[in-house]
Structure 1
């Protein structure tokens, strides 16, 4: 399949690309599957009928390049860009714009994100294009006269929930610095998708139907994402987005100016005025993504490269790995009671530190070095004991001398030269603030909820923040996004990341260990059932079937609150480099996520 076919989006080809059976995807590569015994992991001999996997999905293998994202069409766009001679950055940028069309729940130009890039020579770069609080934002903007949180979830839905978007500026900066193809080339697939339409997957149709009432509430007299006959969307229906195509054409022609200035900016500001939002032209003019130094450390013989603040992901992931590194997880086994116990206790302490210490480094002094110091982590761990669960009410953020307390989607890419990109972007909640910019056709984010709208009060994800993450004008809100790249012996090994709100960090943590300790293939590591603990509330949620009954009994006897849930945890899109240089894509079976290679 060449790029021309994707751009024309003929119905027959689109049907093949979107096929959830993965048949078309697997035809994109002729690489032979490794021996069946690779990934020796088996669940446990306690219950031979149990399966460790949410479902089983075939890996995708490639030699020359691979893209894995939340939507099959977007992944195909990424690979076709690679086939044209583009590099991993070109593929990442084209895929992100395509996702803004085909995956409206989280793909975005009205939000922001983080990128980790490792070039073919091993140099690493991270780009922060997280949204910022508008200049007219204030610490107590969501509180009433009694300092209580106002009713109406104002930080979560509606016009007041949006921060200044960063995606367009960030993607342009990444492309200008590292891209090979032209800006016009990498934008064209998304434009054609918006103009000609894209067939809805069953999941996308269901999502649009579920959000219909909120879209009507916050977008009176608009018809975006609505069927003309008011009927429900169904799988295979074609979603055409003419206004979004017009916006993307302006971005294609003018770069960031096509979004932050001119017609699009006027439409965005008119939408803010219409609904009581506070983003101004000054906010748009002053928004610029920031290149930051990666958080880098080791786990045994592996080098971990991840995102620094205002993402909490990198620091948290490395803290988690350092806590469990001394233990024989491989010997104990996947999801055994001992393995699970040390992972839960690590998560408990890391999320407590996240609450106390992490925020936008341009506004607060984040003790990054101290939080990763071996002696500090040793002190944080000294009250752990195998005989019983720790109490989160007792576990607080650690003490550091000299300091005072003060919907998302992921994609991974590699090209034939070995450049790698891990990129996580978000609108925050599914379909963001539910506000569509009239005339421009894109959804706005609801990232203001990621601030501590009142220190000590949990946000929608249950995360508790404090002074370090209090609202301030032009400040970036704390994030859990954890785009990560892993090296082994100086060579690229893994590209990791996921959406999932507060579960992002623990999902990346588990998939990393599934490969590094439990010898799973990348697809097995992604498919494996997951669990999550975030300090508060003091309970562990897990995907149904993740533990045997015997293991649950042992953990509960020690005082762990273990709650099965029907909702899935995370939707990983990852890449593993095999010893012979072959790329293995692991795209999450929990959703429409798809890996495509060639």
Structure 2
């Protein structure tokens, strides 16, 4: 008996040592069935992830796969995947070249500052949220054309064809999608008289869904590139749709739209370099501000979601969202004080007035003085065999955008005009406040919270990350990064972890159920913090390059998100 106990103890010790040595740095032990070294795609839908990984296996690079996934999502994930929306891309090549592409929508040329106000100057919320007038000029197609022209390897037709096939031949709808379609039936009928898209008496999970009009549109884009969307039959259909519903997007707006390459924002968090998106997204600046704000504090020692960790993160978020409301907008129209906002000393000053003993009322927090997206966005992360990495967040804003389909073309239009400050000081659909920097102007890009991001460690690729979630995008990316770097979570565990969020106003901490333990909530409540339970926060899709050189994916369990690698 003694020998048996001794043998069992020895086995237990050996197993414990093996486990600990396999989890250095918080990365799970290597599993031979999951050592993906040749590439990885993480997206919101299994069919889109498969399209991306097939492109990589075919010899395409990360940009080829990104373009293919973007168009595939327009077919299989219409609540956020799109032709009629826009987004942002952050790219890092295997040799360290970095780039950022802004394909955010623009206000039409006929837009005006007070177009969503009544005679008394009050916001008419429904006008910026639903129907034809809510739509900005789409940027997704031009963005993908520009990305492919600069970095693509396969032919344009090769990367578009998979989305054509998905639309023409059909794909099985998921259970989650059938629920969405049923819930949206009333709005689809209301805003689409005379159209039958997505409208039917019953949806069955797994049924084959064919979209012929959308397939025709994709074939024109495949054959004619940019002109297949912004000119010719599709442009005619968009303008006809505008005219049918008192919209204001014109042929000139479509023809003149151009995505823009912008210099990425870079900064550091401890030993990590952060490469992220610049304005007109607020996400990159806000993310660096948040990381700068918490870096001086010993989060690792305090522990994951301890009361001290949560308090510091919330106070940082409170101040950063106040800055967002006043200082951020389209850099082509407003001089954004970017270099000052992302200075570590600026964040240190902003955090200097918070009190450990009690919550700082948001009414006491104003924007710092500096020299002078329901949350249906979607994100995908891709790394190819050579190590090129792409982080893309794309959106039509609300779930199914403006609810308006382009008749004959088969795709939805965005409702991004609500992302402007319709009236400075009035909240948008996500409760975010804004000022003059983000007021409505013709041909201006609306402010965004999208935060596609890539991290390096010691000059090597470390993480590709991003998420949908409207105003919660920034804090979800922030928490996911900290979960890995500070709290030693695997990529999947970091993505799956429950989240909380503060955005200055409303002055409360929104949290997923059981995101924080009861004692943490009690301690912070005693200091004056207010809590509000809410549904899922974000759908993070991320990739981590482990210390062993293989890729570890994190696909958010809050959706149908899927990791595929090879």
TM-score interval for Structure 1 and Structure 2 normalised by the shorter chain:
over 0.9
1:61, 1:339 → 2: CA distance? Answer: 33
SS at match of 2:127: coil
Residue 418 (structure 2) pairs with residue 444 (structure 1)? no
**2:334 counterpart residue number:** 364
The aligned runs of 1:364-513 (5 Å cut-off) are 364-401=334-371, 403=372, 407-513=376-482
SS at match of 1:165: coil
Alpha-carbon shift at residue 477 of structure 1 (Å): 0.1
The aligned runs of 1:164-203 (5 Å cut-off) are 164-203=137-176
1:76, 1:313 → 2: CA distance? Answer: 28
The aligned runs of 1:92-171 (5 Å cut-off) are 92-150=66-124, 153-171=126-144
Q: Would you say the 8 A contact 1:306–1:484 is kept in 2? A: yes
SS at match of 1:154: helix
Pick one of 169, 182, 194 that aligns with 1:221: 194
2:237, 2:192 → 1: CA distance? Answer: 14
**1:9 counterpart residue number:** none
1:522, 1:36 → 2: CA distance? Answer: 15
1:319, 1:517 → 2: CA distance? Answer: 17
Residue 268 (structure 2) pairs with residue 294 (structure 1)? no
1:328, 1:502 → 2: CA distance? Answer: 27
Q: Would you say the 8 A contact 2:27–2:546 is kept in 1? A: no
2:349, 2:162 → 1: CA distance? Answer: 52
**1:542 counterpart residue number:** 511
**Cα deviation 1:402-426 (Å, max 9, x = unaligned):** x2xxx21000000010000000000
**2:39 counterpart residue number:** 65
2:499, 2:21 → 1: CA distance? Answer: 26
Greater helix percent: which structure?
A: 2
Residue 276 (structure 2) pairs with residue 306 (structure 1)? yes
**1:277 counterpart residue number:** 247
1:409, 1:400 → 2: CA distance? Answer: 33
2:21, 2:405 → 1: CA distance? Answer: 49
**Cα deviation 1:339-386 (Å, max 9, x = unaligned):** 000000000000000000000000000000111123322221121121
**1:344 counterpart residue number:** 314
Alpha-carbon shift at residue 563 of structure 1 (Å): 1.5
**1:570 counterpart residue number:** 538
1:444, 1:211 → 2: CA distance? Answer: 15
SS at match of 1:429: coil
Gaps of 5+ in 2: 1-18
1:165, 1:38 → 2: CA distance? Answer: 45
Alpha-carbon shift at residue 38 of structure 1 (Å): 5.6
Task: Report the TM-score, using the length of structure 2 for normalisation.
Answer: 0.94
**1:317 counterpart residue number:** 287
Q: Would you say the 8 A contact 1:111–1:165 is kept in 2? A: yes
**1:593 counterpart residue number:** 561
**Cα deviation 1:143-175 (Å, max 9, x = unaligned):** 011111126x11011000000000000000000
CA RMSD of aligned residues (A): 1.6
Q: Would you say the 8 A contact 2:49–2:69 is kept in 1? A: yes
1:427, 1:337 → 2: CA distance? Answer: 36
Alpha-carbon shift at residue 103 of structure 1 (Å): 0.3
Change (3 A) 1:262 1:420: same
2:21, 2:428 → 1: CA distance? Answer: 46
**2:14 counterpart residue number:** none
Residue 252 (structure 2) pairs with residue 252 (structure 1)? no
Alpha-carbon shift at residue 234 of structure 1 (Å): 2.2
Q: Would you say the 8 A contact 1:38–1:520 is kept in 2? A: no
